[in-house]
Amino acid sequence: MSHAFIKAACASAGLVLALAAAGTAHAAKPIANSKPQAVKKPLTIEQKIAMGDAMARSHKPRTAPKTMAQAAKTVTVMAGGGEGAEVPDDLQNYLSVVRDAQGNLRILETDGAPQPGQFAAGVSNEK
């Protein structure tokens, strides 16, 4: 057999396999319980504004508890059995990013909310 004949036979066999695979994929049955999905129209500007206003009305601003007694009232039990609670500001840690004297960014951690200008460039957060 010549090299050209083998090459042509392999190409035609590949074509037959590709067509057979495409035919079976095309003939797949639809899912029994599938329903055609309705095409949703994009929201108008008025609808977007109304939705935004409704979300703003439903938003309730939250403030952190001031004392541990107030924090104890916020304990919630999660579905997995874990507990969560809000904590007073003085128990939260804050992360700040400052540039040191060499221009590198440094991440600093404080126990309370940092005051403006509290960190000078090059000041260590080590105690």
What pLDDT band is residue 52 in, cutting at 50, 70 and 90? very high
Q: Quote the CA–CA distance of 113 and 88 in Å, as a whole number.
A: 12
The confidence score (pLDDT) of residue 121 equals: 47
Q: Do both 48 and 76 map to the same domain?
A: yes
Rounded mean pLDDT of the chain?
75
Q: Is the separation of the CB atoms in 98 and 119 below 8 Å?
A: yes
Is 108 among the domain residues?
A: yes
Which pTM was predicted?
0.33
Any idea what the Cα angle at residue 120 is, between residues 91 and 88, rounded to 5°?
A: 10
pLDDT of residue 122: 46
Q: State whether 74 and 99 are in the same domain.
A: no
Question: What is the domain range of residue 47?
Answer: 42-85
Query: In terms of domains, do 81 and 48 share one?
Result: yes
Considering its fold, how many domains does the chain have in total?
2
What is the pLDDT at residue 127? 46
For the cut 90, the answer to whether the pLDDT of residue 48 exceeds it is yes
Structural domain contains residue 116: yes
Tokens of 66: 């001031």
Look at residue 3 in the predicted model and tell me its pLDDT.
60
**DSSP E strands: which ranges in the chain?**
76-77, 83-84, 94-99, 105-110
Q: Which one is predicted more confidently, 79 or 60?
A: 79
- Look at residue 89 in the predicted model and tell me its pLDDT: 73
